[in-house]
Structure formats: C-alpha cells, structure tokens
Structure 1
Amino acid sequence: MTPPGTSPPVPVIPGWRVILSDKGRLWASRVVPFTDAQLGTGAGRTVDADTLDELRAEVARQEEAAEQAAVQANGRAPGKAAGQTSGRVTT
C-alpha cells in the first residue's frame, strides 16, 4: 500500500515483481504469466540471482526465450501485455 501523499514505487524491473529473500537472494516473478508454449521452450516465470544486474540479465533471457517461442509459433513477434518489457533491460 502506498502512503497518502506519495507516489507508488517505480518497478525495479517493469513487468516483474522483485523479492529479496531473508537469505539475501534476489528473486523476480513475472506479473503476467508466460503462455504454455513459452514455458515449454524454457522461459521461466520466476528467476533468481545474487545481484540486481544478474537478475536483470536473467529476466532479459527469459523474455527473449518467450519472444522467440512466440515468433516460432506465430511467425511474428507477439504483442506485449501491459507492463511487460521487450527483453531489453536498461539500467
């Protein structure tokens, strides 16, 4: 919940929820699930890493795998759901 008079936080990785575990490991879970076809080609909805840069890189790999799966299935790039990244993550 956002306190009154403040702006909601900007996502660290748009389209993904980032979680810091009690052991200090970073996790990211995609807000909108991948399709079964995308999951079947190796795209993972939840990933983990030791650093934020590594987590961003892993998210980019998942988005790219999902995009390639959609291109193979449809012969074209899929439309993005609201808040989803293009697979290119900038810092």
Structure 2
Amino acid sequence: MSFDRHLAEIAREFPDWTIWRSDAGRWWATRHHPLTSAQRDLGCAMTIDADDSEGLREQLLEQRERSGGTEPGTNA
C-alpha cells in the first residue's frame, strides 16, 4: 500500500488528529483540540510519533482507549 493511502486511511479513522509523515520518514499525529485536564491525568498525549504507519495507528488506538473514547467525533 502506498504512503498516501496509509495516510488517508489513518486520517479517516482518526478525524480528530492531523496525521503526517516527516521528511525523515517518521509518522506523526497531533490532536486538533487541546487536552482536558482529565485526559492529561489519564496519560493522553497531544502529539505522538512512530517509525511507521502501523505503529502510529497502534498509538492512536491506545490514545483513544486512554481517553475513554471521550474525544470529539468518537462513538464510544
């Protein structure tokens, strides 16, 4: 699967995050909205990064779990 396709799929799955790949090849995501104090207390991060698209997706799923699905746009 191409880089662009990976990027588009992750962006669709996590619409509350901006997803990109750096010139160095690292995958990044940052939230569109500031964290609440409760999310910070749960260990949520504003920005995350990974070596590849699958690693980033795993971290995004973990962030969703940590926040209890309370992110805007989630159906939990």
Q: 2:63 maps to which residue?
A: 62
Where does structure 2 lack aligned partners over 5 or more consecutive residues? 1-7
Aligned equivalents of 1:27 and 1:85: distance in 2? 20
> Percent identity over the alignment?
34
TM-score by length of 2: 0.70
When the two chains are superposed, the root-mean-square deviation of aligned CA atoms in Å is 2.5
- 1:33-69 per-residue CA deviation (whole Å, 9 max, x = no partner) reads 22111112201121101111111110110111111xx
Q: In the TM superposition, what are the counterparts of 1:1-91 in structure 2 within 5 Å?
A: 12=11, 13-67=14-68, 78=70, 80-81=71-72, 84-86=73-75
TM-score under structure 1 normalisation? 0.60
Alpha carbons 1:34, 1:66 under 8 Å: kept: no
Which letter maps to 2:57? Answer: R
Q: Output the amino acid matched with 2:55.
A: E
* Structure 1 segments unaligned to the other structure (5+ residues): 1-8, 68-76
Bigger share in helix: 2
Structure with bigger gyration radius: 1
Q: Residue 61 of structure 1 aligns to which amino acid in structure 2?
A: E
Q: In 2, distance between residues paired with 1:26 and 1:37?
A: 26
How far does residue 19 in structure 1 lie from its aligned partner after superposition? 1.8
